[in-house]
Structure 1
């Protein structure tokens, strides 16, 4: 049976390069709608080769592209430059919010934090008007996640005892790849060859999968993280742009120097297990413009590949 995303993509983009996908041993998807439930018997991940489509996208947009997508029901993977380093930019806010939940719990989100003039950095639409007052940690995390408020991100870092402490939190999660070094806005510098504030598509997607479906967060904390993801106002032109409108998508976007444009997302197609996807990109020039369409088309191509894997 042809799925909605396959029909949609074939009509809109005529994607044919994925017809020769390499696939072995994938099982049927197990529907899941509970943010706190992990598919109980997902088989080991199986790689699917979408190289032709991703190569074309890199050439079209003159960019380096990294993709890692995981079907949590079947264990099928889509991967392209998934172990190469990219500047994570504001997608780190999703990791900070998850680590904050792990550290303070739901009750701790009610903790008030004073907002001072000295805290404010560029692009702080929620926190800047609150100078002289206070916000709760929950309000701060909501601002960082849904509108990518940079001061809010720094206040989350501070609540976690700084970037180095978040780096340790991610290491405890099993991520020995990500290097958390600086706060906003410096973390967006993205100079090629500088490992500070970088990760890989696989590492960040694996982290998000662990926070949403692993053992580190309680059921209520997982639900809160997913609520922040689905409440984002910055991702309409990214992963969710070319997916069917009845698919629920929660994401955290990011952008930085050297054309960096990223999106880290949870996708819930109706009637099947959730999908975790990380799409990252960069360009050669410091002032290069990023391309949202590259992220959208790469995500849609990855979904077509997963459909092929599960047919």
Structure 2
């Protein structure tokens, strides 16, 4: 079935509250508690069964974003796919970009695949030596413990960097996440380092990089595919739709009543990224990845570039 999503504010209040409240206390989500239909309390777009595989995708249509790149003095890569028709719009979608914190969404998916909902109650210690720059949640928990659910939620919804590292540690380190993505069929993404080193984004360095196409395909596999079970997909979707870091990115120029679950990222060389699953009020979900950077190491990023590129991609798909 096609799930008709709630507005972003409704989705966040319903999806993130009751569901994560159970997880952070270490309780498993039972089928009776987990969202099951779009009309039930606490429902999320991931509550439906995985969308049926579309017909073979037509040849991707290039999205002319040269003017946008010139205006923002940046390089931008886009891959957007309508999961109902298989139509895709692309621009530099096979070029490498530093993935920055978008990797946290994939790490959360890999964690759910590894431990399941039942394993999210496991406690992990938070030590002072663990703290790295930008850790708004974990810095308040030093000397105590957090559940894996709390760690993953902090990493995805707040982009907490220490939580991101604890998430990688729970998986077995960067190499383990790299292997998990390879199991999805991803032979492009190179997971090498932890926060904050992964944000170096040095020119020509393939460490901690991926392509817009691969990033979109990986998130699609975790959120809309059958890699995860129903409960695990519902939890991941609740984290993504509950993010607090993406309001000025993919979702910024889309209709206000569409539900967007996303993970943003920023790094050196003006890197600014966002990867999202978008549930329009009608029709199948859209998966969008926008990645961007600039030539100078200390260049600032511009959220408006990502927002404009995403809006152009969705419009080119005939949606919105």
Does the alignment reach a TM-score above 0.5? yes
Contact persistence 1:140–1:156 (CA under 8 A): yes
Structure 1 equivalent of residue 202 of structure 2:
191
Q: Choose which of 253, 270, 275 in structure 2 pairs with 1:242.
A: 253
- How many angstroms apart in 1 are the aligned matches of 2:47 and 2:94? 27
Structure 2 equivalent of residue 285 of structure 1:
296
Is the partner of 1:307 in helix, strand or coil?
coil
Aligned pairs for 1:158-177 within 5 A: 158-177=169-188
After the TM superposition, which of the residue ranges 36-45 and 158-167 deviates more from structure 2?
36-45
Distance 1:221 1:36, change over 3 A: farther
Is the partner of 2:207 in helix, strand or coil?
coil
Q: Choose which of 36, 45, 49 in structure 1 pairs with 2:61.
A: 49
Q: Choose which of 117, 120, 132 in structure 2 pairs with 1:109.
A: 120
1:256 paired with 2:259, answer no
Structure 1 equivalent of residue 6 of structure 2:
none
Q: Choose which of 294, 302, 305 in structure 2 pairs with 1:294.
A: 305
- How many angstroms apart in 1 are the aligned matches of 2:144 and 2:299? 38
Is the partner of 2:205 in helix, strand or coil?
coil
Could you tell me how far 1:276 is from its partner in structure 2? 0.5
Contact persistence 1:240–1:296 (CA under 8 A): yes
Structure 2 equivalent of residue 22 of structure 1:
none
1:39 paired with 2:46, answer no
In angstroms, what is the RMSD of aligned CA positions?
Answer: 1.6
- How many angstroms apart in 1 are the aligned matches of 2:224 and 2:182? 17
- How many angstroms apart in 1 are the aligned matches of 2:45 and 2:128? 42
Contact persistence 1:153–1:184 (CA under 8 A): yes
Flag structure 1 segments of 5+ consecutive residues without an equivalent. 1-31
- How many angstroms apart in 2 are the aligned matches of 1:136 and 1:114? 9
Contact persistence 1:66–1:81 (CA under 8 A): yes
Structure 1 equivalent of residue 140 of structure 2:
129
1:78 paired with 2:81, answer no
Could you tell me how far 1:43 is from its partner in structure 2? 1.2
Could you tell me how far 1:34 is from its partner in structure 2? 4.4
Q: Choose which of 198, 213, 227 in structure 1 pairs with 2:224.
A: 213
Flag structure 2 segments of 5+ consecutive residues without an equivalent. 1-43
Q: What TM-score does the superposition give when structure 2 sets the normalisation length?
A: 0.84
Structure 2 equivalent of residue 14 of structure 1:
none
Could you tell me how far 1:40 is from its partner in structure 2? 1.9
Is the partner of 2:116 in helix, strand or coil?
helix
- How many angstroms apart in 2 are the aligned matches of 1:34 and 1:107? 18
Structure 2 equivalent of residue 181 of structure 1:
192
Is the partner of 2:306 in helix, strand or coil?
helix
Is the partner of 1:302 in helix, strand or coil?
helix
Distance 1:93 1:50, change over 3 A: same
Structure 2 equivalent of residue 25 of structure 1:
none
- How many angstroms apart in 1 are the aligned matches of 2:53 and 2:121? 36
Is the partner of 2:113 in helix, strand or coil?
helix
Q: What TM-score does the superposition give when structure 1 sets the normalisation length?
A: 0.87
Q: Choose which of 193, 203, 214 in structure 2 pairs with 1:203.
A: 214
- How many angstroms apart in 2 are the aligned matches of 1:202 and 1:45? 13
